[in-house]
Structure 1
Amino acid sequence: MIPDLECQSLTKSFTETTAVKGVSFSVAPGSFFSILGPSGCGKTTIMRMIAGFLEPTGGDIRIKGKSMLNVPPNKRPVNMVFQHLALFPMMNIAENIGYGLRRVGLPKAEITRKVGEVLDRVGLPGIENRKIDELSGGQKQRVAIARCMVLEPDVLLLDEPLGALDLKLRERMKIELKSLQAAFDTTFVYITHDQSEALVMSDQIAVMNEGQFEQVGTARDLYYRPQSAFVAGFVGDSNRWTGTVEQAEGNRIALRTQDGMLITSATQGGSLPTGSMAEIFLRPEAVRVAHDAADLARFDNRLSGEVSSLLFNGAASRILVRGDTGQQIEVTLPQSGEFASLAKGAPVHIGWAGEQTACFSAEP
C-alpha cells in the first residue's frame, strides 16, 4: 500500500542552524499521525515543508507516491488548519467554507451543495448564513476543518489548532477531532507540544527533539516502552533519578542515586557498565502503597516514609512520599479502599518492580 505521505531524509537548514536533520517517516492512508515535541524542535518546519511554504534543503516529500519537490502550495493535495484558524470575519459561514471552491471556479449551485454536505458532516447543519463571531470556539474549529475538507485533500495538516482554546473546550475538541478524522477517513498530520493531545488522538506519534525523531510508535509504545531518556521524560509524568551504576548483570542494574538511594532497574538496549552514569524513570501509577512493609516483599525496590503532600485531581489524585533520606516520590493513589484518604504526615511504605522502570545511559 502506498503511504498517503512519505518524507525521505527530509532536511532543512537556515543560515545559522539546521532545523530538521534527515527525518524519514511515512503515514498510512486514513490515519491520524502526530508530531509531538517542545517549542523549537523543528516540527512546524516539517509541516511548512509538507505544505509547500518552505523548500527542503535535502530529501523528498511524497504524497500518494508523487514527489512534491518544486510543486507550489496551491497545487499540492493538502490543506492546513492553523492555530488561529484564519477564518474571514467579513464573510458568513457558507462564504468561508466555499472560498476555496470559488477560487477553482466551481459553479455556484455545486458550491452550495458541497458546503451543505460538509456542514452536515462536521455536525453544523443549517448555519450557512451565520457570521463567524456568532459561533463558539468549538464551532469555529469545525468550520475551519470544514473549509479544508470541502476541497477533499489527500492530507490535512493541523498546526496546533487547539492551542488558543480554554482547557475545558480543548479537552472536548480532542475527542471531536478524532471523531471527525474517522468520519472523513482522511489522513490527518497534527503537530503539538501537548502530550495529552497526541496520546488521545493519534494512531502513530513521532516524538521530536532538536531536529530529529527520537521515537515513532503508538501512544502505548511511547508511554510504556520509551526508547530514549528524552521520550521517557517528555511523554507522561515520571519520577526521575540520576546516579551511578553500582552493579550490572545482563539487562538489570543497581543504581545509587545522588541522594543515596539504591534502585534496581531493568535497562533498555542492553547492560550499562559499572561506574557509568544513568537515568531512571518510574511512572507514579507503577508504585504500590502499603501500611506494612512485609506486604511489599515481592518488589525489588522498597522505601519507608511519610506523606508530604496531597495532590488531589479527581481520577488522577496523587501523593508525594518523602523517604527516610529525604527523597520525594510521586505515587498515584487508588480511588477507593484504605489508601484513598491518606492524610499529610501519614507513615507509609512503597514499592515497585525493577521491570516497571525505564533506565538509560546518562553519559555525555
Structure 2
Amino acid sequence: MTPDLECSALTKRFDQSLAVDDVSFSVPPGSFFSILGPSGCGKTTIMRMIAGFLPPTSGDIRIKGKSVLDVPPNKRPVNMVFQHLALFPMMNIADNIGYGLRRKGMAKTEITRKVGEVLDRIGLPDIANRKVDELSGGQKQRVAIARCMVLEPDVLLLDEPLGALDLKLREHMKIELKALQAAFDTTFVYITHDQSEALVMSDQIAVMNAGRFEQIGTAQELYYRPDTAFVAGFVGDSNRWAGKVETVEGGTLALRTDGGLLMRATAHDRTLATGDRAEIFVRPEAIRLARSDADLAHFDNRLSGQVTSLLFNGAASRILVQSTQGGPEIEVTLPQSGEFSDVGRGDAVHIGWSGDQSNCFALDGAA
C-alpha cells in the first residue's frame, strides 16, 4: 500500500545550524501520526517542509507516491491547522469554512452543500450563521479543522493546535481530535511537545531530539520498550539513577549507582560491559509498596525508606520515598485502595521492583 506521506533522508540546514538531520518516515493511509519532541528539536521545521513553506536542503517528500518538492504550497494536497486558528472574525462560520472553496471558484450551491456536509461531520450542523466569537474554544477548533477538511486534503497537518486551550478543554479535545480523524478517515500528522497528547491520540509516534528521530513506534512501544535513554526519560515519568555496571549476565546487569545502591535491570543496550557508565530508568507504577521486606522477597530490587511527600492527583496519586540507603527520592504510584490508601508523610515503607521492569542504557557522554 502506498503511504499517504513519505519523507526520505529529509535534511534542513540554516546557515551552520542543522535543524533536521537525515530524517526518514512514512505514514500509512488514514492514520494518526505524531511527531513528539521538546521545543527546538526540529519538528515544526519538518511540518513546514511538508507544507511547502520551507524547501529542504536535501531529501524527498512524497504524497501518495508523488514527489512534491517542486509543487508550491497552494498546490499541494495538504492543509494545515495552526495553534492560533486564524478564523476570520468578520465572517460567519459557513463563510469561514467555505473560504477555500470560493478561492477555487466553486459554484455557490456546491459550496453550501459541502459546508453543510462538513458541519454535520464535525457535529455542529446548526452553527453556519453564527459568528466566530459566539463559539467556545472547542467549537472553534472543530471549525478550523472543518475549514481544512472541506478541501479534501490527502494529509492534514496540525501544528500544536491545542496549545492555546485550557487544561480541561485540551483533555476533551484529545478525544475529539481522534474521533474527527476517524470520521474523516484522513491522514493526520500532528506535532506536539506534550507527550500526553501524542500518547492518547496517535497510531504511531516519532520521538524527535536535536534534529533526529530517536524512535518511531506505538504509544505502548515507546512507553514500555524505549530504544534510547532519551525516549525513556522523555516519554512518561521515570525514576533514574546513574552508575557503573558491575556485572553483565545475558540480558541482565547489575549496576552500582553513584549513591552506592546495587540495582538489577534489563540491558537494552547490549554493548554494555563491566565498568561502563549507564543509567537505569524505573516507572513509578512498576514499584510496589509493602510494610515489610519479606513481602517483597520475589523482587530483585528492594529498598526500605520513609515517605517524604504525598503528590495527590486522584487516581494518579504518588508518593516520594527517601531510601534509608540514601540517593534521590523515589517516586512511587500510590494504590487507590488497601493498606496504603491512607499513607502519609513520615510513614516507614518498603519498596521493590523487578529488574525486567527497568530500562538501562549507556550514559550519554560516557567513555
For the superposition of Structure 1 and Structure 2, which TM-score range results when normalised by the shorter chain?
Answer: over 0.9
Change (3 A) 1:363 1:250: farther
Q: Give 2:138's aligned residue.
A: 138
For residues 142-200 of structure 1, the C-alpha deviation after alignment (integer angstroms, 9 at most, x for no partner) is 00000000000000000000000000000000000000000000000000000000000
- Work out the CA distance in 2 between the residues paired with 1:277 and 1:309: 30
Counterpart CA distance in 1 for 2:22 and 2:306 is: 49
Residue in structure 2 matched with residue 147 of structure 1 by the alignment: 147
Q: TM-score, normalised by structure 2?
A: 0.98
Give the distance between the partners of 2:100 and 2:271, measured in 1 at CA: 57
SS in 2 for 1:316: coil
Deviation at 1:62, TM superposition (A): 0.2
Match of 1:241 in 2: 241
1:176 corresponds in structure 2 to 176
**For structure 1, which segment, 85-94 or 161-170, has the greater mean C-alpha deviation from structure 2 after superposition?**
85-94
Q: Contact (CA 8 Å) 1:49, 1:56: kept in 2 or not?
A: yes
- Amino acid corresponding to residue 357 of structure 1 in structure 2: S
Counterpart for residue 286 of structure 2: 286
2:47 matched to which residue of 1?
47
Partner of residue 62, structure 1: 62
The aligned amino acid for 1:98 is G
Letter matched to residue 52 of structure 2: G
Deviates more, 1:135-144 or 1:252-261: 252-261
Per the alignment, residue 319 of structure 2 pairs with 319
- Matching residue of 1:341: 342
Give the 3-state SS of the residue equivalent to 1:214 in structure 2.
strand
CA distance in 1, matches of 2:9, 2:271: 31
1:25 aligned onto 2:40: no
Map residues 216-231 of structure 1 onto 2, 5 A cutoff: 216-231=216-231
Residue 211 of structure 1 is matched in structure 2 by 211
Task: Give the match for residue 90 of structure 1.
Answer: 90
Aligned to 1:356: 357
Once the two structures are TM-superposed, the CA of residue 259 in structure 1 deviates from its matched residue by: 1.2
Gaps of 5+ in 1: none
CA apart distance, 1:68: 0.5
Letter in 1 for 2:353: W
Q: Give the drift of 1:203.
A: 0.1
Give yes or no for contact 1:303–1:350 (8 Å, CA) kept in 2. yes
Further displaced range: 327-336 or 178-187? 327-336
Q: Are the counterparts in 1 of residues 87 and 96 from structure 2 also a CA contact under 8 Å?
A: yes
Task: State the 1:288 CA deviation.
Answer: 0.6
1:37-60 per-position Cα deviation (integer Å, ceiling 9, x unaligned) = 000000000000000000111000
Q: What amino acid sits opposite 2:135 in the alignment?
A: L
Matched, 1:199 2:196: no
SS at match of 1:177: helix
Structure 2 CA distance, aligned partners of 1:271 and 1:296?
31
CA distance in 2, matches of 1:363, 1:76: 41
* Corresponding position of 2:166: 166
Q: How far off its partner does 1:363 sit?
A: 4.9
Q: Deviation of residue 97 (structure 1)?
A: 0.3
Distance apart, 1:271 and its partner CA: 4.8
CA distance in 2 between counterparts of 1:153 and 1:257 reads 52
Deviation at 1:258, TM superposition (A): 1.3
Matches within 5 A, 1:93-104: 93-104=93-104
CA distance, structure 2, for counterparts of residue 301 and residue 321 of structure 1: 15
**2:118 alignment counterpart:** 118
1:238-296: per-residue Cα shift (whole Å, max 9, x none)? 00111111122222111111111111111103151111100110000000111011010
Flag as ranges the 4+ runs of structure 1 deviating above 2 A: none
SS of the residue corresponding to residue 314 of structure 1 reads: coil
Whole-Å Cα distance in 1 between the matches of residues 233 and 259 of structure 2?
20
- For the residue of structure 2 that corresponds to 1:315, the secondary structure is coil
What is the rounded CA distance, in whole Å, between the counterparts of 2:208 and 2:181 in structure 1? 23
CA distance in 2: counterparts of 1:16 and 1:129, whole angstroms:
51
How many residue pairs get aligned? The number is: 364
1:325, CA displacement in angstroms?
2.4
3-state SS in 2 of match to 1:164: coil
- Return the alpha-carbon distance in structure 1 between the equivalents of residues 271 and 31 of structure 2: 36
Cα pair 1:276 1:363 within 8 Å, conserved: no
Residues 299-339 of structure 1 show CA distances to partners (whole Å, capped at 9, x for unaligned) of 01000011111011001011111101233110001111111
Amino acid at match of 1:342: V
State the alpha-carbon separation in 2 of the partners of residues 341 and 3 from structure 1: 52
Mapped to 1, the partners of 2:88 and 2:126 lie a distance apart of 19
Q: How far apart are the structure 2 equivalents of 1:98 and 1:225?
A: 45
Runs of 5+ unmatched residues, structure 2 = none
Whole-Å separation in 2 of the counterparts to 1:287 and 1:362: 23
TM-score (norm 1): 0.99
Name the SS of the counterpart of 2:101 in structure 1: helix
Residue-by-residue CA offset, 1:63-92 (whole Å, 9 max, x unaligned): 000000110001100000000011111111
Q: CA deviation at 1:16?
A: 2.2
Instruction: State whether residues 250 and 271 of structure 1, in contact with CA within 8 Å, keep that contact through their aligned partners in structure 2.
Output: no
Mapped partners of 1:41, 1:305: distance in 2 = 39
Write the distance in 2 (CA, Å) between the matches of 1:22 and 1:5.
16
Within 1, Cα distance between the matches of 2:315 and 2:267?
30
